[in-house]
Copies of this chain bind each other. A is one copy, B any other.
Amino acid sequence: MSKTKSAIISEPPQIAELAIDIAQKAKDASKILTKISSRSKNEALLSMSDGILSESGFITDENKRDLEDAKTKGLSQAFMDRLSLTPSRIKAMAEGLRQIASLQDPVGEVVKMWRRPNGLLVGKMRIPIGVIGIIYESRPNVTADASGLCIKAGNSVILRGGSESVRSNMAIGAALRDALNKNDLPEDAIQIVPVPDRTAVLELLKLEDYIDLIIPRGGEGLIRFVSENSRIPVLKHYKGVCHIFVDESADLEMAKSICMNAKVQRPGVCNAMETLLVHENIAKSFLPIISKELEDEGVEVRGCQRTRKIVPQAKEADEEDWHTEYLDLILSVKVVKDLDEAMSHIEKYGSMHTEAIITRDYRNAQLFLTNVNSSTVLVNASTRFSDGFELGLGAEIGISTSKLHAFGPMGVEELTTTKFIIYGDGQIRT
């Protein structure tokens, strides 16, 4: 693996040196940051917010240069839209930092504490992770959001955004670093990687002695690239093939409202519903209602045989459909015999992201919550709530679909780890 890595690199020594330099500075800063009080961190976050606003002219100018280059390269309108920093988006970045300042500091929280028979008082205390690398794509607002969350939890952050947004990211980063500096916090706690190709990413992913965690944010290609090449632990976020099962006892009005919300409120995101499972005993009453609503909203329905008997205009769903995250106004629909068949379908085709049941049956609600081991499991609520902010985590650094360290939406708490603290009075081991 390391062989193929070095084969890709064009000028290894300089980029490798640059990566180590960045990582070393971030690590040194993280050692200072871990001892900074909540009050100082919050004051710095408010300064960072102010800095984004006072530097908005420069940020906008640099963003325009990125946009011009992107246009010259013939990148898509959707891409240009994600890259673009409008005044309202700049305001939203600043507001986001203020909100992060208002969150409770996870660092120093003693999660639990117990006394041992020999009198030792043993506790688990939250501490920062250390240095966190964020590898992301075109949206420059991630630079501010991720920096804020990492600083809040006492971590240094190394940010490596998309090559097309490098000027925007550098401009935002300069404002943020300046704010840290003004508050006597180490500016090196925020590092923007200035190299616009993937060799720098490869070099960073080797630095397990400096960087404690990598969070990739972007498409599946980026995430696979990062996780296959990293020696550092990676919090992955693969696809969300989210299901809703409408049980036989469901309140059909509620089911309609939740299903429509889960499918059309924002179809392009990972917690939107992709597959609807309907209990056979209510299929005849529910499917005509929901398919009419879906049609009105321009959603294409791809159904199983039994669905198509009730909704003849539905296309035929094939095996591939059940695996697919459409991220679009398309929905696959299957009629199932019972809760067990619904759960088996989810186990076979799901991505362990988010699933919901709509039911009035107590036992089925509890069985679904207990036995479906996706990262978020809901009863009688929209899958769209699988989101750090909506769940009350304050903000979200990502959604993990791998089970280690964090599973599901991650907030500031997930940017910490715990150490054991032990109060003794002379105990020795016998």
Interface residues of A (CB under 8 A from B): 1, 31, 34-35, 108, 114, 116, 120, 122, 125, 127-130, 208, 212-213, 227-229, 231, 233, 251, 254, 257-258, 261-262, 265, 347, 365, 369-371, 373-382, 384-386, 390-392, 402-405, 407-409, 417-429
A-B contact pairs, 25 of them (CB 8 A): A31-B347, A114-B392, A122-B391, A125-B369, A128-B373, A213-B403, A213-B404, A233-B233, A254-B426, A257-B428, A258-B428, A365-B423, A377-B419, A377-B421, A377-B422, A378-B422, A379-B422, A381-B427, A382-B427, A382-B428, A382-B429, A384-B429, A391-B420, A408-B418, A409-B420
**Chain B residues with CB under 8 A of A407:** 417-419
Please name the residue on chain B nearest to A418 by beta carbon.
Answer: B407
Q: How far, in angstroms, from A379 to B376 measured CA to CA in the complex?
A: 40
Q: A129-B403, A392-B116 are in contact. Are A419 and B408 (CB under 8 A)?
A: yes
Q: A403-B212, A407-B418, A424-B378 are in contact. Are A261 and B386 (CB under 8 A)?
A: no
Q: How far, in angstroms, from A370 to B378 measured CA to CA in the complex?
A: 38
Please name the residue on chain B nearest to A234 by beta carbon.
Answer: B233
Asked if A420 contacts B379 (CB within 8 A), the reply is: no
Q: How far, in angstroms, from A391 to B423 measured CA to CA in the complex?
A: 12
If A376-B420, A378-B421, A391-B420 are given as contacts, then 17 extra A-B residue pairs at C-beta distance below 8 Å, sorted by A number, are A34-B371, A35-B371, A120-B385, A122-B392, A127-B373, A129-B404, A213-B404, A227-B231, A251-B426, A262-B428, A374-B419, A375-B419, A381-B424, A381-B428, A385-B424, A407-B417, A407-B418
**Chain B residues with CB under 8 A of A128:** 373
Q: How far, in angstroms, from A409 to B251 measured CA to CA in the complex?
A: 48
Q: How far, in angstroms, from A408 to B35 measured CA to CA in the complex?
A: 20
For the complex of A and B, the 10 pairs showing the least CB-CB separation, nearest first, are: A381-B424, A261-B428, A384-B429, A405-B405, A403-B417, A378-B422, A376-B420, A233-B404, A380-B424, A381-B427
Asked if A228 contacts B228 (CB within 8 A), the reply is: no
Q: How far, in angstroms, from A386 to B421 measured CA to CA in the complex?
A: 10
Q: How far, in angstroms, from A202 to B74 measured CA to CA in the complex?
A: 43
**How far, in Å, is A149 (CB) from chain B's closest CB?**
16
Asked if B422 contacts A385 (CB within 8 A), the reply is: yes
Asked if A120 contacts B381 (CB within 8 A), the reply is: yes
Q: How far, in angstroms, from A265 to B430 measured CA to CA in the complex?
A: 8
Select which of B213, B369, B392, B425 is within 8 A of A421 by beta carbon: B369
Asked if A422 contacts B231 (CB within 8 A), the reply is: no
Asked if B391 contacts A116 (CB within 8 A), the reply is: yes
**How far, in Å, is A238 (CB) from chain B's closest CB?**
11
Asked if A377 contacts B428 (CB within 8 A), the reply is: no
**Chain B residues with CB under 8 A of A418:** 407-408
**Chain B residues with CB under 8 A of A1:** 229
**How far, in Å, is A327 (CB) from chain B's closest CB?**
17
Asked if B381 contacts A426 (CB within 8 A), the reply is: yes
Please name the residue on chain B nearest to A420 by beta carbon.
Answer: B376
